């Protein structure tokens, strides 16, 4: 079964272009993460900012490590990343690219 997460990533135009160039040299699974496995992908027509979203993905393994490696080479102002795990409070968030068409926040609800 495995542990699933919801993951959202927003990149500014320049960082998204860098991602596309980086993916050319990556494995099939690393490319599939962005080309086939995503649940949502949008590019803002005004700014070129790009949103990638995965729902119910197992966010571990080589293909996800490549995302973390890629993001570590960017400045915080150029991206916003958030991963919400299945367990309450399991949130991983970094980056400071908030001034764009794609904003997301984590919320909690009580279900009865």
Domain assignment present for 18 = yes
Domain assignment present for 32 = yes
CATH number for the domain harbouring residue 72: 3.30.70
Domain assignment present for 107 = no
- d(Cα 59, Cα 61) in Å, to the nearest integer? 7
- d(Cα 78, Cα 96) in Å, to the nearest integer? 7
Domain assignment present for 23 = yes
Domain assignment present for 43 = yes
For residue 49, the enclosing domain spans 5-95
Averaged pLDDT for residues 22-29:
92
Residue 1 has pLDDT above 80, yes or no: no
- d(Cα 65, Cα 35) in Å, to the nearest integer? 16
First to last CA, the chain: 25
Domain assignment present for 50 = yes
Place of tokens 């919320």: 107
Residues 31-60 pLDDT 10s:
999 999 999 999 999 999 999 999 999 998
Domain assignment present for 71 = yes
Q: What are the residue ranges of helices labelled H in 24-110? A: 28-35, 62-72
Residue 24 φ then ψ, to 5°: -60, -30
Task: Count how many domains the chain has.
Answer: 1
Query: What share of the chain in percent tops pLDDT 90?
Result: 79
């Amino acid at each position: 079964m495995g542990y699933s997460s919801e993951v959202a990533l927003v990149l500014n135009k320049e960082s998204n272009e860098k991602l596309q160039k980086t993916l050319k040299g990556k494995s099939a699974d690393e490319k599939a993460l962005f080309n086939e496995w995503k649940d949502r992908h949008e590019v803002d027509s005004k700014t070129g900012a790009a949103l990638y979203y995965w729902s119910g993905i197992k966010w571990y393994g080589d293909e996800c490590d490549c995302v973390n490696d890629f993001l570590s080479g960017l400045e915080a102002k150029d991206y916003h990343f958030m991963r919400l795990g299945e367990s309450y409070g399991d949130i991983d968030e970094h980056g400071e690219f908030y001034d764009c068409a794609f904003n997301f926040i984590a919320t909690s609800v009580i279900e009865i």
